Amino acid sequence: MSQPTEDPTEQTAAKASRSMFRGSRAAEMAKRVQTAPSFPATDTQRPTAAAPQSPATDYAEVKGALQTRLLEQLSDRDLLGAGEERIADFVREFAEEVLANEEVPLNSTEREQLGRDLLQETLGLGPLAPLILDPAVTDVLVNGPHDVFVERFGRLEMSKVRFRDSEHLQRVIERIAASVGRRIDQASPMADFRLSDGSRVNATIPPVSIDYPTLSIRRFGHRRLRGGDLLRYESLNEPMLKFLTEAVRHRCNMVISGGTGAGKSTLLGALAEAIPGNERIVTIEDTAELQLDQPHVVRLESRPVNTEGAGQITIRQLVINSLRMRPDRILVGEVRSSEALDMLQAMNTGHDGSLTTVHANSPRDALSRLETMVLMAGTELPSRAIREQITSAVQLLVHVSRSEDGVRRVRSVSEVTGLEGETPLLQEIFGWQRTGRSERHIEGRYVATGIQPAIADRLRKRGADLPPQLFQPEMAAAGRSPANDGDQA
């Protein structure tokens, strides 16, 4: 997959910017640690930590003091912007020398742990490292140095992880941002970026966050969820999955709606696996999250303004640019603003089979939001013209939500059938009905309305395997597709 080449002038400017940033970061770090406490040292060539006078000093205090000294030495040697291997070697050497030459009040287990923790503090996520390594954790939410929450299996819970103080938390945030080439300081106190493993990060520091720095990490699994995984997690049933995959395979325009954390991007990625491998796919996202198996994929990512207030690349610009890239499919991770107009126009001008997501509380709210976002493009189109554009472009609306038990479910699959007067018409094909609740689980079932969607005939003409029995209420409630039912018989 070819990558766009950067202009030599931009490369030179970028290098200069990184150099200035490293210098300013080193100066800032050195200034910060000048007032930090240090222990008496026995080695005059390399300052190292001696045992504190108070016998009550705990592991966190000792590690914190050593971490401050380590950062000071890294700053003095201009290593804060060096490669990870070089920094790791320096950290290991520092830890070994401290343990060998100084009376550090640590037991044998803590001595073994010290080197690993210093390395994580310097290169990784500090105290958050164990949470990031836990595959059950999907969200890490840091409200302050002593308030760290995690989401496991759809439920938020308080974590035992703590930061030493607000300064410690801010230093971790700065390090995370610097590791991906981003900057967060009082001039730019908010940042959105992506970690190397694909996790999405939002960070704020004072004065934007009044009390403490905050950090939100949305984690994604090492492998993306597929249709079979969604079935196993009861996010939908077999008839629904079969219909949606056939609709995607045979180029149906689809919008997935839902609230924050409802699983919109996850469902989008699972359905996108139905796209044939011989088609050219262009993905457009604020933070690149989609992981596709197809060989012909071009990934585009928006870019915020830089410290000079320039260089912003919006989703709308990327959508417009993608039309010149000869795409067979356009996948927009989320439509939030004026790019809705260009996305609808692309769907209406030959780029059928496109997929996107939108924040909304219901399928009808999703249509209203699309209309509002088209108006944000600055066009003065009449309301009816916008609604005609929407109903012509979008064939299916899939609504997902996260229930109180933490399970993310497809609540509704609806067909957009046209306009009646000024009102867009929606026909629900599948839905989820709640029947009760057990101690920790909401009980319900997926049902079909029994109505054959108008789009089914068009999809069959294109080769889709959509038997009429698929839309029978009994079949959907049983959770079986006709093909599987025949196999069992």
Identify whether 353 is part of a domain: yes
Give the range of the structural domain holding residue 451, as residue numbers without chain letter: 227-488
Identify whether 9 is part of a domain: no
CA distance 348 to 359: 22
Residues 33 and 51 placed together within one structural domain of the fold: yes
Backbone angles phi, psi at 343, to 5 degrees: -65, -45
Identify whether 350 is part of a domain: yes
Tokens matching residue 180: 């991906």
| Per-residue confidence (pLDDT) for residue 45, from 0 to 100 | 38
Closest CA to 126 of 88, 172, 65, 84: 172
State the DSSP code for 44: S
Residues 23 and 85 placed together within one structural domain of the fold: yes
Identify whether 3 is part of a domain: no
Residues 321 and 396 placed together within one structural domain of the fold: yes
> The domain that contains 147 carries what CATH number?
3.30.450.90
| Per-residue confidence (pLDDT) for residue 112, from 0 to 100 | 79
Identify whether 359 is part of a domain: yes
Can you give 88-126 as a three-state secondary structure string? HHHHHHHHHHHHHHCCCCCCHHHHHHHHHHHHHHHHCCH
Instruction: List the chain pLDDT tens, one digit each, 489 residues.
Output: 444 444 544 444 444 444 444 444 444 443 443 333 333 333 333 444 433 334 445 777 787 788 778 877 876 787 655 666 787 888 888 888 888 888 888 887 888 788 877 877 676 677 787 787 777 888 999 999 999 999 987 788 999 888 888 988 998 898 888 877 788 888 889 988 887 777 889 999 999 999 999 999 988 766 678 899 999 988 999 999 999 999 999 999 999 999 988 889 999 999 999 999 999 999 999 877 888 889 999 999 998 777 677 888 999 999 999 999 999 999 999 999 999 999 999 999 888 999 999 999 999 999 999 999 999 998 888 999 999 999 999 999 999 998 888 889 999 999 999 999 889 999 999 999 998 888 778 889 999 999 999 999 999 999 999 999 999 887 655 555 554 443 332
Cβ atoms of 411 and 270 within 8 Å: the answer is: no
**Domain end among 73, 105, 123:** 123
Residues 361 and 397 placed together within one structural domain of the fold: yes
Identify whether 65 is part of a domain: yes
Residues 245 and 327 placed together within one structural domain of the fold: yes
Domains identified in the chain, total number? 3
| Per-residue confidence (pLDDT) for residue 404, from 0 to 100 | 83
pTM for the full predicted model = 0.70
The b-or-e profile of 456-482 (16+ CB within 10 A means b, else e) is beebeeeebebbebbbbeebbebbbbb
Residues 58 and 137 placed together within one structural domain of the fold: no
Residues 280 and 340 placed together within one structural domain of the fold: yes
CA distance 168 to 6: 36
| Per-residue confidence (pLDDT) for residue 82, from 0 to 100 | 60
| Per-residue confidence (pLDDT) for residue 447, from 0 to 100 | 93
Identify whether 245 is part of a domain: yes
**Domain end among 101, 123, 145:** 123
**Domain end among 80, 102, 123:** 123
Residues 161 and 104 placed together within one structural domain of the fold: no
> The domain that contains 276 carries what CATH number?
3.40.50.300
Residues 41 and 174 placed together within one structural domain of the fold: no
pLDDT tens digits for 451-485? 999 999 999 999 999 999 999 887 655 555 554 44
Rg (CA), the chain: 27
With a CB cutoff of 8 Å and minimum separation 6, the contacts of 153 are: 136, 406
| Per-residue confidence (pLDDT) for residue 69, from 0 to 100 | 84
Cβ atoms of 85 and 106 within 8 Å: the answer is: no
| Per-residue confidence (pLDDT) for residue 52, from 0 to 100 | 39
Give the mean pLDDT of the chain.
81
CA distance 187 to 447: 53
CA distance 132 to 478: 38
CA distance 193 to 303: 10
CA distance 365 to 142: 31
Closest CA to 337 of 356, 363, 354, 321: 356
Identify whether 381 is part of a domain: yes
- For residue 311, give the 3-state DSSP assignment: coil
Residues 167 and 181 placed together within one structural domain of the fold: yes
Residues 290 and 334 placed together within one structural domain of the fold: yes
Residues 327 and 345 placed together within one structural domain of the fold: yes
Q: What single-letter amino acid sits at 170?
A: Q
